A and B are shown apart, each in its own frame.
Chain A
Amino acid sequence: MEFRFTPEEQKLAKEAHELMERERTPELLAETLELGGIYGGPEGRKIGQKMGARGWLCPAWPKEYGGLGTSETVKLMLLDEMAYMGLPFLFGGASMAGPAILRHGSEELKEEFLPRIAQGEVEFALGYTEPQAGSDLASVEMRAEDKGDYFLLNGQKMFNTHCHVADYHYLAVRTDPNAVPRHRGISMMVVGLESPGVTIRPLITMAGWRTNEVFYDDVEVPKKNLVGELNRGFRYVMTALDFERMVTIGMFRRLFEELVEYAKETKVDGKALGKNPLVRQKLAEIAIELEAARLLYYQLGYILDKGEVANYQSSMEKLFACEVAQHVVNAGMQIMGFYGQLQLDSKWAPLQGEMEFQYRWSYLHTIAGGTSEIQRNIIALRGLGLPLPTA
């Protein structure tokens, strides 16, 4: 057993931290929050490319694709640090589509995209969800007709968050409308978001940042952009999802630390908040949850580095981490709200209003990337071998 990073990992972490420290401008921090943590905005790309140049966006990839050939633990470590430092931490390319292309794409596709993803030059948006296909992804209907040397795409996507800042769409489409079961008729394709026929329309969330509806009207996609095999796409989505579910809550780790500082400094009725026994207990409770979440997170690296599949563990980590994130924010609101006197120009300047913003955002955490209910189902079915209901 070993719960420390290796000296090499620590060295790399230190270097990366120093770069992030140097490069995290107020504009970058503001953009990260405004975009809801996704990569692809102008400020984000600046630092993303600097990190990508060092191989730090996809460190576990082979060198030929822009990685450093490190362990998966390094990737998790760096991602966590980025989230902690207020950098974008939701990478459609580096974290989701990229790993799927690496595992299932043709050599041509890999060469075309992986190095550019690893260098932070291009970003992908996930194209799964549709109005009638959320948790039930197998219900995807967007049609891709085989037209000989291209596919013709028609349909609509929903809640495709990255689209307004990304370059490519990692798209789930139906290539066989008659497949039984339905999921065997789904294929994955890479589509340029500037392609003629693609219309992106904003949807504003209650947190104030933007997600999108995307309409495909007779969009032509070259055959080479098919990822892996025709009609095997559902499996690739599942792979990508397992990776997507390795969520970092570095952002909440930092928020929590700031909350602790706030509690130490803020006096109510002559006493520091941090001396209030109920506040102490609540903060301690969350510190413990964050620690448990950290261990679940790094266990994923351990599993992947052993060459195994984290079939239920990533679901468990996502489930737990997202619920802890909500606890951080709820406690923050409660602790700050107990006294109801936080002014917008409070001396807790870096988070001026952030807790309230995070609170509005927090409702999404247990829904996006697989709802908590779905995650529990996966833990039960894949992790514990429980049966599916019979009709």
Chain B
Amino acid sequence: MDFGLSEGQRMLKQTARAFLTAECPSSLVKEMARDDRGYTTELWRKMAELGWMGLVLPEEYGGTGGSFLDLAVLLDEMGRACLPGPFFSTVVLGGMIILELGNEKQKQELLPMIVKGELIITLALTEPGSSYGTSDMTVKANADGDNYVISGTKLFVPDAHIADYIICATKTAEGATLFLVDSSCPGINYSLLKTISGDKQCEVVFNKVKVPQENIIGDLGQGWIQLQSILRRAAIAKCAEMVGGAQQVLEMTVDYVKQRVQFGQPIGAFQAVQHHCANIATDVDTSKFITYQAAWRLSEGLPCNREAAMAKAWVSDACRRVTLLGHQCIGGIGFMEDHDLPLYSKRAKVAEIAFGDADFHREVVAQELGL
């Protein structure tokens, strides 16, 4: 067994860390939480120049042809930096869906643009009354000649307000179907939700939005199966981000308790504090391994339904524990708005529930156990 990264992955990690340390300080993260768009074109452009958008896209579309595991390494560093912006949406929810399910025309048209940083794409899946567990969607796409007409409300759609395209999960007569919707189509209304971490999630209302049938992604009526794969991938990818954030919280906490002096010594010398730190470290290490195992299996094309569910269930709870213990150790100062820790604890909360929370994924594991 090998728990280590390849040479290429180590280099990617180092480069990403150096770049993000310089280009994505916590001041930017805080600024983008207040900003409506949530990212700067400057940083976006630089990331595209580094080849990050094309990391897992094949060379024939301008990408680098890297593996999902490579992407996990990158997402880990992005999570460590709390990188704001539509990278996750565009690459994991956009590019990878088009790569897996799109026809050649769609791939030729969209993937090169994603690589160049010229497109922002997202996925509209969840709705007011339903989350990840049901194919019973209320957003309908009704056939109308060569087009489909989409109506209904999607909720918690990341980056919809800045996306060029939205991959919308709808219910057609044949079952669930994914459509590629041009975001500038008439009839779409966006409102940005105010959420705990200031990440950009939207309510998206589709009012008789006309979409040509050639914009179907994958097969008509096959959306439910397609969504399983999409969700699995998104869940693992989100875990990779969470792992990076958790690692940073550990380091922040350890640094603090080593230098904060009370009762004549660093509080890191007290057993209660040491045990909190040990508990954080244990959650961080287990999260790392369980995530990377899932990411590796996906990369290798091995079945990973069980491992993906295990990872998301574990990491969801572990990261919450890590951030709350971090707060307990860092005390009053970590409670302040201008401290960096709240960036992580708020983001961990959002990530905990994205793409299925722990309960949801434990049920998947229960099924895998044959119960």
Which of B162-170, B206-214, B240-248, B280-288 contacts its partner?
B280-288
The answer to whether A387 touches B258 (Cβ under 8 A) is yes
Q: B1, B2, B69, B274: which contacts A380 (Cβ < 8 A)?
A: B274
Whether A1 contacts B296 by the Cβ 8 Å rule is yes
Question: How far is B269's CA from A387's CA once the two chains are assembled, in angstroms?
Answer: 5
Interface residues of B in 348-371 (CB under 8 A from A): 359, 362-366, 369-371
B277 and A380 contacting across the interface, CB-CB below 8 Å: yes
Q: Judging by beta carbons under 8 Å apart, are B1 and A2 in contact?
A: yes
Q: Name the one of B296, B314, B369 contacting A3, with C-beta atoms under 8 angstroms.
A: B296
> Could you count the A-B residue pairs with CB atoms below 8 Å apart for me: how many are there?
147
Q: Name the residue among A263, A288, A387 with the largest chain B CB count within 10 angstroms.
A: A288
Residue in contact with B271 in the complex, picked from A280, A312, A373, A385, CB distance below 8 Å: A373
Q: What is the number of residues of chain A that contact chain B, defined by CB distance less than 8 Å?
A: 50
In the complex, whether A376 has a CB less than 8 A from a CB of chain B is yes
Complex CA gap A2/B296 in Å reads 8
Query: Which residues in A have their C-beta under 8 angstroms from that of B362?
Result: 280-281, 284-285, 288
Q: Does the CB pair A283–B274 fall under 8 Å? A: no
Q: Give residues 291-326 of B contacting A (CB, 8 Å).
A: 292-293, 296-297, 307, 310, 313-314
Roughly how many angstroms separate A90 CA and B363 CA in the complex, as a whole number?
35
Number of B residues, CB within 8 Å of A: 47
Does A260 have its Cβ within 8 Å of any Cβ on chain B? Answer: yes
Contact B282 A316 (CB under 8 A): yes
- Report yes or no: A1 in contact with B69, Cβ–Cβ below 8 A: yes
Q: Check A284 against B366 for contact (C-beta < 8 Å).
A: yes
A1-38 interface code vs B (CB 8 A; 1 in, 0 out): 11111000000000000000000000000000000000
The 3 closest A-B pairs by CB, nearest first: A380-B274, A274-B371, A376-B278
Q: 15 additional contacts, CB 8 Å, given A288-B313, A383-B278?
A: A1-B4, A281-B359, A283-B366, A291-B307, A299-B289, A302-B2, A312-B281, A316-B281, A320-B286, A376-B278, A380-B274, A380-B275, A385-B254, A386-B258, A389-B271
Question: CB within 8 Å of B: which residues of A?
Answer: 1-5, 73, 260, 263-264, 272, 274-275, 279-281, 283-285, 287-289, 291-292, 295-296, 298-299, 301-302, 306, 312-313, 316, 319-320, 373, 375-377, 379-381, 383-390
Chain B residues within 8 Å of A, Cβ to Cβ: 1-6, 69, 250, 254, 257-258, 264-266, 268-271, 273-275, 277-279, 281-282, 285-286, 289-290, 292-293, 296-297, 307, 310, 313-314, 359, 362-366, 369-371
